[in-house]
Copies of this chain bind each other. A is one copy, B any other.
Amino acid sequence: MTTASSLETRVGRVTLKNPVLVASGTFGFAREYERLFPISALGGVMVTGITLEPRAGNPPPRLMETPAGLLNSIGLENPGVHKFIEEELPRLRDLGTEIIVNISGFSLDEYGRLAEILDKETGLAALEVNISCPNVKKGGMTFGVHPESAAAVTRMVRQSTSLPVWVKLSPNVTDIVEIAQAVVDAGADALTLINTLSGMAIDPEKRRPVLGNVFGGLSGPAVKPVALRMIWQVYQAVTVPLVGMGGIINYRDALEFIMAGATAVAIGTGLFLDPFSPLKVIEGLQGFLAKNPEETIRDLIGAAHCSP
């Protein structure tokens, strides 16, 4: 019989009632979607990227729809960690689901301070470390694209908090496995992947880039094959749990990620085409499991790696 516990999954120390999270930056601080459905139905919420100081974000336009995808250049608009703790965290704690805070720094120091500050707060399940931020001290290359800088950020956060550290990998790299290994060696408890692919669009009438920031991050179904490939490769190389994301719309997409090696999944862009998509994915997974009463979601993790 499929019980609720068939869907339970564990990302390291963190137990999730089901494997379906919502992805950072797409769900705000859960204020808005709360008006549509009970957030407690979700496995967890990855809140919007938080920085040390408040950030205004990038100039508009910030969004451009592409074939089966979405380009965004939000630029981490957020109220800063202090206002987050004051104004958002108390509400988030009471939502009845796991809260994962996504942090972004523009120097190693900033990552460390963010982790320290959040370490003092209760009610957080984990920190998700966004290493796709430009390193202002190193000429703007993002931390996440080199194993050394990715490891350095991880170590810094690891030293600054006792919370589980989930590191979010950038897909804009030659060798995702090399980065994953470096980050795990540096103390990551789990990996989340993928962040957005770097892309752009041009308006042929205006003869200018569409986005105010020229470049944006590509998400949505268009990137799913790339995300799945990376999960697959990383699963074969590391033993920490993986949280998979990138184009998940329905439960079959989620199954693909889980069978490729994800312990949990997150939905971002999928919310925009149907705000209820996370709930439908949960239902769909339940239905799939119901076909085989012996099986739980945990049995499916990485299932596609072994020959039939």
Contacts and interface: CB of A to CB of B under 8 A. Distances in A.
Contacts of A252: 204
A201 interface: yes
Contacts of A22: none
B69 A202 contact: no
A199 B172 contact: no
A195 to B, nearest CB: 14
A145 B178 CA distance: 14
A272 B175 CA distance: 31
Contacts of A304: 202, 207-209
A200 B194 CA distance: 14
Contacts of A139: none
A143 to B, nearest CB: 12
Contact of A69 (B172, B225, B255, B256): B225
Interface residues of A, number: 48
B206 A225 contact: no
A152 interface: no
A218 B227 CA distance: 12
A232 B198 CA distance: 12
B228 A202 contact: yes
A40 interface: no
Q: Is the interface of A mostly helix, strand, loop or mixed?
A: mixed
Nearest to A142: B174
Interface in A247-290: 247, 252, 255-256, 259-260, 288
Contact of A225 (B200, B255, B300): B200
A37 B146 CA distance: 48
Interface in A129-147: 145-146
Contact of A199 (B202, B215, B228, B255): B228
Given A207-B304, A208-B308, A304-B209, A224 B66 contact: yes
A129 B138 CA distance: 34
Contacts of A247: 67
Given A209-B304, A304-B209, A225 B199 contact: yes
Contacts of A215: 229
A68 interface: yes
A226 B204 contact: no
A179 to B, nearest CB: 9
A168 to B, nearest CB: 17
Given A207-B304, A308-B208, A68 B222 contact: yes
A206 to B, nearest CB: 7
Given A207-B300, A208-B304, 5 more contacts: A67-B221, A200-B232, A201-B225, A207-B259, A216-B225
Interface of A: 66-69, 71, 145-146, 172-175, 197-202, 204, 206-209, 214-216, 218, 220-226, 228-229, 232, 247, 252, 255-256, 259-260, 288, 300, 303-304, 307-308
